Chain A
Amino acid sequence: AQSVSQHNHHVILSEAASLELGCNYSYGGTVNLFWYVQYPGQHLQLLLKYFSGDPLVKGIKGFEAEFIKSKFSFNLRKPSVQWSDTAEYFCAVNAGRDDKIIFGKGTRLHILP
């Protein structure tokens, strides 16, 4: 069965620091990969997605993620975070011919002003 692991449950950074959130998935075949963000009290919004092609994916708000197939990873990065990036971040995967998108447990990011 598909699963998604996010290693960092709670990350605290100062503004302008660089960010990397880890995500690993378990599935040996073709995958679609996603990062979603949930700002406090709001719904989930798509940050970026990978379906095929260039493994370095650029998303909104300066975020990017790199798909490394050999490591089953899809880590999220941002070179310089802002206070407004404070939110919950979810990695998600859709694998094979499955209809469902499975989410990781989320990483709570807190940016200190």
Chain B
Amino acid sequence: DTAVSQTPKYLVTQMGNDKSIKCEQNLGHDTMYWYKQDSKKFLKIMFSYNNKELIINETVPNRFSPKSPDKAHLNLHINSLELGDSAVYFCASSPLRTRATEAFFGQGTRLTVV
């Protein structure tokens, strides 16, 4: 059983399109994250949700809108995609809200905007 699963694994789309990436965790964790990994492998946190509530929004453009229908899911919707959005997006989850313990990562979604 995959603990943190993301779909799709690969996503190729044109500039200006709107796309979504889904994430689900079956670990019973309270906190979920989205990270962006650029071409230089730099990992930057984008959002953190705890029990469906937005906790962290790291000055991400408002074209990016996370949605958490329940604490096991955190989806990422991106409007008006730009070339610079090309990256690998990782979903992660962690068991505690305060003093975050280790994060468990999904396999990543490689987004390519052409």
Chain A positions within 8 Å of B, measured between CB atoms, are 32, 34, 36, 38, 42-46, 49, 51, 88, 90, 94, 97-103, 105-106, 108
Chain A residues, CB < 8 A from B56: 99-100
CA distance A93 to B56 in the complex (A): 16
Q: Cβ of A101 and Cβ of B100 under 8 Å apart?
A: yes
User: A102 — nearest CB in chain B belongs to which residue?
Assistant: B45
How many whole Å from A62's CB to the nearest CB in chain B? 19
How many whole Å from B76's CB to the nearest CB in chain A? 16
Q: Cβ of A32 and Cβ of B101 under 8 Å apart?
A: yes
CA distance A97 to B99 in the complex (A): 5
Q: Cβ of A105 and Cβ of B40 under 8 Å apart?
A: yes
With A44-B90, A88-B41, A105-B42 as contacts: A99 and B100 at CB distance below 8 Å: yes
Q: Cβ of B43 and Cβ of A94 under 8 Å apart?
A: no
CA distance A88 to B48 in the complex (A): 24
Q: Give 9 A-B pairs besides A94-B100, A101-B45 with Cβ atoms closer than 8 angstroms.
A: A36-B105, A43-B90, A43-B105, A45-B105, A100-B33, A103-B35, A103-B44, A105-B42, A106-B42
Residue B66 is within 8 A (CB to CB) of chain A in the complex: no
Q: What's the count of A-B pairs with C-beta under 8 Å?
A: 63
User: A49 — nearest CB in chain B belongs to which residue?
Assistant: B102
Chain B residues, CB < 8 A from A94: 99-101
Q: Cβ of B102 and Cβ of A43 under 8 Å apart?
A: no
CA distance A38 to B105 in the complex (A): 11
CA distance A99 to B106 in the complex (A): 18
Chain B residues, CB < 8 A from A88: 41
How many whole Å from A6's CB to the nearest CB in chain B? 11
